[in-house]
Structures are given as C-alpha cells and as structure tokens.
Amino acid sequence: MDIYNAWFDLKPGVSDMEFSDRLTAYMDNLKNDSLMQGWRLMRRKLGLSAASVGEFHLMMEFTGMAQLDQAFTRVGSRREPVETVHFGVNSLVQNVQFALYRDFPDPMRHRGEEKF
C-alpha cells in the first residue's frame, strides 16, 4: 500500500466542520471511482507534533503507484465532476506539505541475497 500524506492548516476563518464535509465529498468521489482505497483525516492533539507540520494530517491509501497515477490524472485534468470538489478543499488550506510512504517491508521483498 502506498500512503500519500498531506499536512496542512486551515486558512483563517475556515470552519473545521465545513472543511471536513468538503473533504469527505472529495475523497469519497475518488474512492467511489476506485481511484483510491481509503483515507483518513486526523487533527493534532494537545499541540503535539513536529514543529513544521500543520494542524491536520490527511492520509490517502493507494494499492500502488498505478492507482495513485490514475487519481492524479483525474484530478490533474481539472474537469468536472472532480474540479469543483478539489477546489472546494484546496481553497480552504494553507501551509501544505506532502510525502509519499509505503508499507514496509515491501511484499515483493526477498531476504537472503542482499549485497548491503
């Protein structure tokens, strides 16, 4: 599983619940079209996090790079129906940082013949 992560803050004056509702519409649009496996939104608790990351953390799960690329192709097309829901989320956030992680060890990982 490949996990595409986003850490961010909401823009001043943005309602956390409005954002959550809009994000649900966006993520469910991708998931319902089989362009992602799942997602979850988390919020920093008790002010505990690395100094450089935002208050919110979004994790998006993909079966692999092919599915992630399909999602990026859909969103990058800037066409409806995804453009409105993408803008509806994107316009509410700031200070965004992204990272791509994978489950480890990789399922194809073979042991015993490593050279390093």
Domains of the chain: 2-102 (3.30.70.100)
Separation CA 55–CA 74 (nearest Å): 27
Over residues 55-82, the pLDDT tens digits come to 999 999 999 999 999 999 999 999 998 9
Of 104, 103, 102, 99, nearest in space to 5 by CA: 99
The one-digit pLDDT tens for each residue of the chain (116 residues) are: 999 999 999 999 999 999 999 999 999 999 999 999 999 999 999 988 887 899 999 999 999 999 999 999 999 999 998 999 999 999 999 999 999 999 999 888 888 888 88
Single pTM value for the model? 0.90
